[in-house]
Amino acid sequence: MFNPFNKNSELPVFLRKGRIGGFLTIVLAGQLTYSAFEAFKGSLMIPLTNALGIGIDQFGILMGWLGIAMFLYLPGGWVNNRFTIRSILIVWAAWRMVTALILFLVPHLSFSVMVAIAISWGAWDAIGWPAVVNGVSFMSQDANKQGRGLAMGLLESTRRAVEFTMNLIVVGLLAVFAEQANTVMTIMGVLYSLIIIPLIFCILKFVPKNATAKAEDPGDSDSIAALKGLIKVLLLPRVWLAGIAGLCVYWCYVNLIYSSAPYLSLVFHATDAQSGAFGIFNTGLVGIFAGVVSGLVADYLFKSSTRMMAFALALTAVGVGLVYLLPQGGSIWVAMGLLIVMAMGIFMGKAVILAPIAELHLPEEINGSAMAVGSFLVYASIFWANPMTAGIVETHRDNPHVGYEQIFLITLCVAVVGAVCALLLDRINARCQSLEQSEELVDAPADAPVTQ
């Protein structure tokens, strides 16, 4: 087994020759497809909307239509059962590239066409994102099942690092060519779209084909077999437990976004520069670092991503619980320290948010639909967490401390529920593993040698 502190230990399978190329290609596919639009939504939202000739309210409408993916994750699970990871990633990336080029290159593009493009992106995201996490699981699978937590952690950290770097390049160019901001955004949008071309060639070269659902009965088609696989996944209680635990992680993450820079600004009256710098650190750099730490701890300390998620949610509960107890007018430095603890817990959990599903060791031909169902559950909180938390902040503008007390209390309860679900899932997994080992012993030949 690989030990990160032992130079003689063996690397995880996905970092070895023959697999590392496929692993990195899939990870980059999970980020580069978003790099020309969604990745700009934070620090580059205003330059992007100016370049596209739309308002922030219209940008919000486009982002809302991207959320249609939530309703399509379940049929997306059928597609992931029916087609290979490689073929899905190629078509998804190619469609993203073509439509992004239309968005940036067609002059005076009507907003209705932009909406149609956003809807198509949302539909394809429901298919493509489960293929990414299924691909990471596929490339990291090994006989001893080690390394999947680290693989999922590296997926999160690498995506955040790539987004941070690519956005930093754009910010630098905007600083140099401030008078040509629209031109800079258009050129970089086109370049970041065209980078998908070498990505597609890498997918063809490095990503192997995985198993897909095949009909067992002569009268069934492969499509029916894929549908049966999806139904089988939907009936698995452990998939739902893993999904609910992940939902709690993501709900906490949404609340963290409102509890970093805005919290310091509204409650402690920090300047825009101070709160903005802390927000970038707490929701950006901490996430890059936490992903790697989470993966290593999951695989080589806890031996389980499910236990890692339980620990991460418990750490989140401790951090947010202590912030909740802070008196009004308390120290901003103490608040910042506790928010960092909260962020560390959330990002450690977010790094392995779908890894517990990979730990269920489902058959390869239905693992894609399991990831799709998991994605549906995990990201469902988008529907209520954003409007609810934003509504609390707006309602208590006159006394933001009271509003944030409510937000922190909600986050605390969510973290505790998620930790309980993760612990329960871990106990069930242990029982299932024990039963499987007992069955293997019963089925073993009577004259088989006993190993110590």
- The answer to whether residue 391 is domain-embedded is yes
- The answer to whether residue 372 is domain-embedded is yes
191 and 250 fall within a common domain: no
**Model confidence over 154-193: pLDDT tens digits?**
888 888 888 888 888 888 898 888 889 899 999 999 999 9
| Predicted local distance difference test score (pLDDT) of residue 218 | 59
pLDDT at 393 over 70: yes
Could you give the CA distance from residue 31 to residue 379 in angstroms, rounded to a whole number?
A: 17
Tell me if the pTM is above 0.85. no
Could you give the CA distance from residue 303 to residue 132 in angstroms, rounded to a whole number?
A: 23
Give 183's contacts (C-beta < 8 A, 6+ positions apart): 177
The pLDDT of 242-265, averaged and rounded, is: 88
**Model confidence over 184-194: pLDDT tens digits?**
999 999 999 99
Per-residue confidence at 259, pLDDT binned at 50, 70, 90? confident
- The answer to whether residue 4 is domain-embedded is no
21 and 68 fall within a common domain: yes
Could you give the CA distance from residue 12 to residue 3 in angstroms, rounded to a whole number?
A: 9
pLDDT at 420 over 80: yes
Q: What are the DSSP calls for 157-205, one per residue?
A: HHHHHHHHHHHHHHHHHHHHTGGGHHHHHHHHHHHHHHTHHHHHHHHHH
Could you give the CA distance from residue 393 to residue 299 in angstroms, rounded to a whole number?
A: 38
245 and 365 fall within a common domain: yes
330 and 186 fall within a common domain: no
95 and 120 fall within a common domain: yes
pLDDT at 198 over 70: yes
**Model confidence over 284-342: pLDDT tens digits?**
788 888 888 888 888 888 888 899 999 999 999 999 999 999 888 788 899 899 999 99
Could you give the CA distance from residue 146 to residue 140 in angstroms, rounded to a whole number?
A: 8
Per-residue confidence at 42, pLDDT binned at 50, 70, 90? low
179 and 303 fall within a common domain: no
- The answer to whether residue 213 is domain-embedded is no
The pLDDT of 61-86, averaged and rounded, is: 84
CA dihedral 28, 94, 364, 366 (to 10 degrees): 120
Domain of residue 85 covers 14-207
Domain count, the chain: 2
| Predicted local distance difference test score (pLDDT) of residue 450 | 43
| Predicted local distance difference test score (pLDDT) of residue 443 | 61
| Predicted local distance difference test score (pLDDT) of residue 439 | 66
- The answer to whether residue 5 is domain-embedded is no
Choose the final residue of a domain: 145, 172, 207.
Answer: 207
Give 30's contacts (C-beta < 8 A, 6+ positions apart): 129, 132, 133, 155, 159
165 and 262 fall within a common domain: no
| Predicted local distance difference test score (pLDDT) of residue 147 | 65
* 275 sits in which H/E element: helix 272-280
161 and 293 fall within a common domain: no
- The answer to whether residue 28 is domain-embedded is yes
CATH number of domain containing 271: 1.20.1250.20
